[in-house]
Chains A and B, each alone.
Chain A
Amino acid sequence: MKEFAALYTALDQTTRTSAKTAALAAYFASAPEADRLWTVALLSGRRPRRSITTSRLRLWAAERAGIPTWLFETCYPVVGDLSETIALILPPPQTRIEASLSDWIADLRALDGADDAKRRDFVLRAWDGLDPTQRFIFNKLITGGWRMGVSQKLMTRALAQATGIDEAELTHRLMGDWSPDTTTWQGLIAAPDPQAALSRPYPFALAHQLDLAPDALGPVTDWLAEDKWDGIRGQLIRRGGSHHLWSRGEELMTDRFPELATLAQALPDGTVIDGEVLAWDHRAAHPLAFARLQPRIARKSVPARLLAEAPVIMMAYDLLEWEGRDLRAQPFAQRRAGLAQLLGGLADGVALRLSPALGAPDWAGLATLRAQARARGAEGLMLKRLDAPYRMGRHRGDMWKWKLDPLTIDAVMIYAQAGSGRRATLYTDFTFAVRDGAGFVPFAKAYSGLSDAEFRAITAWVRQHTTDRFGPVRAVRPELVFEIAFEGIQASPRHKSGVALRFPRMARWRRDKPVAEVASLDDLKAMLAQYG
């Protein structure tokens, strides 16, 4: 663990990307193979299964530190991280245990099925034999949720430096649901096994928000416009006689969407399609609200009732592989023609549709189509350059999101809660309300959109204007007014206000507005009637 702790410290002690890359590359070049592989896994969001509950960890840590549990629970929100809280409150180590990162992980997994006393014994012994940084890492191995200030991209770049393998190729090799149990350093990175590549998705192409007038993009004929659909971006893979559906977050979603199984079987081997999974109203040929899709994301297996209530389709955007050939270097126009031909040959009623091209003679015409996007169940338009290859990641210039301006409403803050991590000492998570008769009714929570300076000022205000406390939540005097922006509004019987917003955030702190001018529940209901 010493090498990994040193790596962690080196990464933690700098804000410069070049220094982080160099520290990682040096680690990848020298650490034992098993540790390297686990490091790649941890930094790409793959963590060992949780073998001990956090409630047990909290209890044992408080016991070991000799403090009451309420005091532990007071410290936790101040620190903003459970692993760090535990590492900070424990007494200094009494012994020194030398074991590698992969040894610790193996030991932790050996606790599967062990009784409580044995787990407790193991954890207390570990805490007593590790310095604070190593304790923090040990706790993180149990609780998961790594954030070492290193993106997967930065990690891949360092890996490319250390191995001499091309960064794009490495990015592709690291896709999919591998784990250090199912592969080795050799098998994954150094000399990959072609069999293992069968289920592997391609790195997704992502778009930037259009931040200039569309005329700046050149002739409208260079571009293909489509609706920007609000579902789950996915990649459907048909290879080696089976199919796989991946989310953009590289999560395997195959079993959650059984509708796509028959479709996938209708595709020939060696086919990969990029698209959007949407809940779909087949009769109206129109997408259902994103909220209808949400219960399907949450569950691994789908009951028949849910299948009937929120059936899905895949709206196809692009063809990445055909007859086993990687098409990503081809121009988009050619890939899209191939996709159209493929879909044209499928039987009617299959759960796969081509995302329609929206034609207009000029940018003004497209602007009109964009303004009507909400009526088609879309969030705006996507603009894709017809001669562009399919690039990985966010690349400026080939693909743009041209979203509708958000809906907005003025509301008052009524509850505040501290953030976590770097925002642990600030009140950043707020609940907003609109007027309802003489009182207020909460309708949205938001935690983004303001500057650190604004959060600091609001934090000071919250401390002075708290009227009640509910655990970590403070009720505050309803005085601060904010403009809340959101992408959509839906009826929701689960919420007191009767509505649920999509992507609410703070567009502005309206210091100029008195609370008497915030919107009312009737205003909100009018928006629901118009846009819901």
Chain B
Amino acid sequence: MVLEFREAGIYCPAADAYIDPWRPVARALITHGHSDHARAGHGSYLATRAAAPVMRHRLGDIRLATLPYGEVLRIGDARVSFHPAGHVPGSAQIRIEVAGEVWVVSGDYKTVADGLSEAFEPVACHAFISECTFGLPIYDWPSEAVLAQQINGWWAETRARGQTAVLGVYALGKAQRVLRLLDPGIGPILTHGAIEATNAVLRGQGIALPDTVAVAPGLDLAACRGAMVLAPPSALGSAWMRRFGPVSTGIASGWMQLRGVRRRRGADRGFVMSDHADWAGLNAAIAATGAERVFVTHGYTAPFARWLGEQGYEAGIVATEFGGEALDLPEVEPDPDRDTRNDTDPPLAARQSAP
């Protein structure tokens, strides 16, 4: 086996390295900077060049080497390379070749281009380890153009009513993707500290983002009535929100596809926007690899593996500890003015969202 599934994570014996391990290990290959994939405490890290600044920002002083997309590095008997996964800026699928046999670990991925992340590229392989957070045919994402229209429309309506729009988005990836969709002609764009810190890191590596104003003490909020505020989902409904006066709240997440979840979260609006692949995306990505063996992790693994089996794949399930797209609010309210580094950490209830 090119890869094995161990307690600490997905392991490659030929390279003596783990991919996105969830227990501390000597050598970690990291697909992207979200905190359920890039954890603290490993001896050394290898990631893409574009993922490095965010990882340093979140994990501090770590031993981190980088590799450009597509370039092959020899580790032990394995040939390792990173390929765009389209999930967030710097995210990668990891290709590992040992004695002519190729395995690919997808990490988290999205097949539709969002204008921000490096676009997903299918990688031919014998075995593909695919996430399936949204691996049911009920998940079907709208286009970026439709999302832009919906979010800007909501913002304009909210502003016309004299209210402020507050949209819950994750600090890395989703927030910047929304920023690129917003029409700055409508009004000012404000950001929560956790998001602004990530914006600064991405701007520093040359990613163009519209102007934003960090919500900080001293900011004249009365003058910002009618603004769009981007905040981590955990800030919605918290004391931090009170400073904005009358607001309309929104959440941008793939889970907003379901009316029941929208109602349960109690936000005024739900936008179906995910950094993971929808049903059609997962199926197309898997077909494009040409793999015969597919292991599915995280999400609706049992039905998705059965479906793949019926499509002629040799399909298996791998138990992982990735959080994917967190469905629920963390139980603890965040400290509003602190950079909440772990804001992508999923709450316990969403650790395993398989039904």
A249 → chain B closest CB, angstroms:
23
Partner-contacting stretch, out of A51-59, A214-222, A418-426, A486-494? A418-426
Q: Which residues, 58 to 93 on B, are CB-close (under 8 Å) to A?
A: none
The answer on a CB contact under 8 Å between B328 and A456 is yes
**Does B191 lie at the interface of the complex (its beta carbon under 8 Å from any beta carbon of A)?**
no
Give the residue name and chain of the A residue nearest to B138 (CB).
A88
CA A149 to CA B268, docked complex, whole Å: 13
Residues in A with CB closer than 8 Å to B136 are: 71, 74-75, 78
Give the residue name and chain of the B residue nearest to A80 (CB).
B260
A96 → chain B closest CB, angstroms:
17
Residues in B with CB closer than 8 Å to A464 are: 352
CA A297 to CA B263, docked complex, whole Å: 33
B73 → chain A closest CB, angstroms:
37
**Does A85 lie at the interface of the complex (its beta carbon under 8 Å from any beta carbon of B)?**
yes
The answer on a CB contact under 8 Å between B307 and A71 is yes
Name the contact of A452 in the complex, choosing from B137, B258, B264 (C-beta under 8 A).
B264
The answer on a CB contact under 8 Å between B355 and A418 is yes
The answer on a CB contact under 8 Å between B355 and A74 is yes
The answer on a CB contact under 8 Å between A78 and B355 is yes
Name the contact of A424 in the complex, choosing from B258, B303, B328 (C-beta under 8 A).
B258
Give the residue name and chain of the B residue nearest to A132 (CB).
B140
**Does B220 lie at the interface of the complex (its beta carbon under 8 Å from any beta carbon of A)?**
no
The answer on a CB contact under 8 Å between B137 and A422 is no
**Does A77 lie at the interface of the complex (its beta carbon under 8 Å from any beta carbon of B)?**
yes
| Mask: chain B, 302-320; 1 = CB below 8 Å from A; 0 = not | 0100110010000000000
The answer on a CB contact under 8 Å between B355 and A77 is yes
B260 → chain A closest CB, angstroms:
4
Partner-contacting stretch, out of B13-21, B97-105, B343-351? B343-351
Residues in B with CB closer than 8 Å to A460 are: 348-349, 351-352
The answer on a CB contact under 8 Å between A79 and B258 is yes
A78 → chain B closest CB, angstroms:
5
**Does A14 lie at the interface of the complex (its beta carbon under 8 Å from any beta carbon of B)?**
yes
The answer on a CB contact under 8 Å between B137 and A421 is no
| Mask: chain A, 383-424; 1 = CB below 8 Å from B; 0 = not | 000000000000000000000000000000000001011111
Residues in A with CB closer than 8 Å to B263 are: 149, 421-422
Q: Which residues, 143 to 182 on A, are CB-close (under 8 Å) to B?
A: 149
| Mask: chain B, 260-294; 1 = CB below 8 Å from A; 0 = not | 11111011110000000000000000000000000
**Does A329 lie at the interface of the complex (its beta carbon under 8 Å from any beta carbon of B)?**
no
A149 → chain B closest CB, angstroms:
7
Give the residue name and chain of the B residue nearest to A12 (CB).
B259
Residues in B with CB closer than 8 Å to A452 are: 264
CA A452 to CA B139, docked complex, whole Å: 24
**Does B331 lie at the interface of the complex (its beta carbon under 8 Å from any beta carbon of A)?**
yes
Residues in B with CB closer than 8 Å to A77 are: 355
CA A452 to CA B269, docked complex, whole Å: 20
B254 → chain A closest CB, angstroms:
12
**Does B327 lie at the interface of the complex (its beta carbon under 8 Å from any beta carbon of A)?**
yes
CA A464 to CA B331, docked complex, whole Å: 19
**Does B164 lie at the interface of the complex (its beta carbon under 8 Å from any beta carbon of A)?**
no
CA A453 to CA B303, docked complex, whole Å: 27
The answer on a CB contact under 8 Å between B137 and A459 is no
| Mask: chain B, 97-135; 1 = CB below 8 Å from A; 0 = not | 000000000000000000000000000000000000000
A250 → chain B closest CB, angstroms:
26
The answer on a CB contact under 8 Å between A67 and B260 is no
**Does A84 lie at the interface of the complex (its beta carbon under 8 Å from any beta carbon of B)?**
yes
Q: Which residues, 35 to 70 on A, are CB-close (under 8 Å) to B?
A: 65, 67-68, 70
The answer on a CB contact under 8 Å between A459 and B264 is no
The answer on a CB contact under 8 Å between A88 and B140 is yes
CA A418 to CA B190, docked complex, whole Å: 38
Name the contact of A89 in the complex, choosing from B138, B261, B347, B353 (C-beta under 8 A).
B138
**Does B257 lie at the interface of the complex (its beta carbon under 8 Å from any beta carbon of A)?**
yes
The answer on a CB contact under 8 Å between B260 and A89 is no
B276 → chain A closest CB, angstroms:
16
Give the residue name and chain of the B residue nearest to A68 (CB).
B310
Residues in A with CB closer than 8 Å to B355 are: 74, 77-78, 418
B352 → chain A closest CB, angstroms:
5
**Does B241 lie at the interface of the complex (its beta carbon under 8 Å from any beta carbon of A)?**
no
Residues in B with CB closer than 8 Å to A14 are: 268
The answer on a CB contact under 8 Å between B138 and A422 is no
**Does B40 lie at the interface of the complex (its beta carbon under 8 Å from any beta carbon of A)?**
no
A266 → chain B closest CB, angstroms:
50
CA A464 to CA B352, docked complex, whole Å: 9
The answer on a CB contact under 8 Å between A81 and B260 is yes
Name the contact of A84 in the complex, choosing from B259, B303, B348 (C-beta under 8 A).
B259
B152 → chain A closest CB, angstroms:
15
Name the contact of A79 in the complex, choosing from B138, B140, B347 (C-beta under 8 A).
B138
The answer on a CB contact under 8 Å between B260 and A71 is no
CA A80 to CA B349, docked complex, whole Å: 18
The answer on a CB contact under 8 Å between B257 and A88 is yes
Q: Which 10 A-B pairs have the closest CB atoms?
A: A456-B349, A88-B138, A422-B264, A422-B263, A424-B260, A460-B349, A74-B303, A422-B260, A460-B348, A80-B260
**Besides the contacts A16-B268, A71-B137, A74-B355, what 4 more A-B pairs have beta carbons closer than 8 Å?**
A74-B136, A80-B258, A81-B259, A460-B352
Residue numbers of B with Cβ under 8 A of A are: 136-140, 257-264, 266-269, 300, 303, 306-307, 310, 327-328, 331, 347-349, 351-355
Q: List 5 A-B contacts (CB under 8 A).
A: A80-B258, A423-B264, A452-B264, A456-B331, A460-B349
Residue numbers of A with Cβ under 8 A of B are: 12-16, 65, 67-68, 70-71, 74-75, 77-81, 84-85, 88-89, 149, 418, 420-425, 452-453, 456-457, 459-460, 463-464
